[in-house]
Amino acid sequence: MEWIKKFPFENILLDAALLVVAFALPSTNLLLSENLTAAFWLAAPFQVLALFCAFYGRDSYSPGRNLPEWLSLAYILNTILAVGSFIWLYLVAFAVEKQTGGFPYWGFRFAFFVALFGGILVFGFSLGRSDGDELSLKTRYLLVLIVFLFLSFTESLLEVSLGISNVGAIVLVVVTLISYLPVRLALAFQPPFSYWDLASAIVCFVVYLYSIL
């Protein structure tokens, strides 16, 4: 059946796995806390890799042209946030400063450059795909696996940084939203678009956010 072939099983499994990590598996926060500076240097390259996987999509046509009209603006806004999503790295940098006694200026310059220009490059590459071949199921699951690893890493990193920086709930919500949702929705907006995928992404994000408030 055609709908089964196009149903985003791998994306919904991604959301379920993220909730398992958040609620059931042992926390990696202690490991990240002990290696926060190294994790900070890794965050931006990892984000670019995850965006590459999220934007790569399932075929060569532009998803923005095939979405329902009322979602087109949301797609554009989400793409801008995903490509330019370096603001959340400020929080990690401040946590590194509190932990080490010095702001990581070179690390932040590196993170800013890689996150911003790397995001633009991978998005441009995704628009340039013209082979017209659908991705194999194995490739689709591999791409989603990398996005899953990034989101798990990012949210653990933010939990550690929030604990060190001791910021309020509003900052927590904004930073988590900026770091998590644009990358996840970039994956959800890839063709063939599915409302099930979009709903799964938003509901699981809300559940995760509730768990850390």
Q: What does the alpha-carbon distance between residue 99 and residue 113 come to, in Å, rounded to a whole number?
A: 23
Residue 68 has pLDDT above 50, yes or no: yes
pTM recorded for the entire structure: 0.88
> What pLDDT does residue 192 have?
76
CB atoms within 10 A of CB 13: 15
DSSP three-state, residue 19: helix
Gyration radius (Cα) of the chain, Å = 17
Q: Is the dihedral of CA 100, 106, 110, 113 positive or negative?
A: positive
Reported as half-sphere exposure (CB side, CA atoms, 13 A), residue 92 has a value of: 29
> What pLDDT does residue 115 have?
92
Residue 3 has pLDDT above 80, yes or no: no
- Binning pLDDT at 50, 70 and 90, where does residue 1 land? low
Instruction: Mark 98-108 as b/e (b = at least 16 C-beta within 10 Å).
Output: ebeeeebeebb
Q: State pLDDT tens for residues 135-149.
A: 777 888 899 999 999
Q: State pLDDT tens for residues 22-48.
A: 887 777 888 888 999 999 999 999 999
Q: What is the mean pLDDT of the segment spanning 9-27?
A: 87
| Alpha-carbon separation of residue 69 from 36, 72, 191 (angstroms) | 43, 5, 15
DSSP three-state, residue 71: helix
- Binning pLDDT at 50, 70 and 90, where does residue 185 land? very high
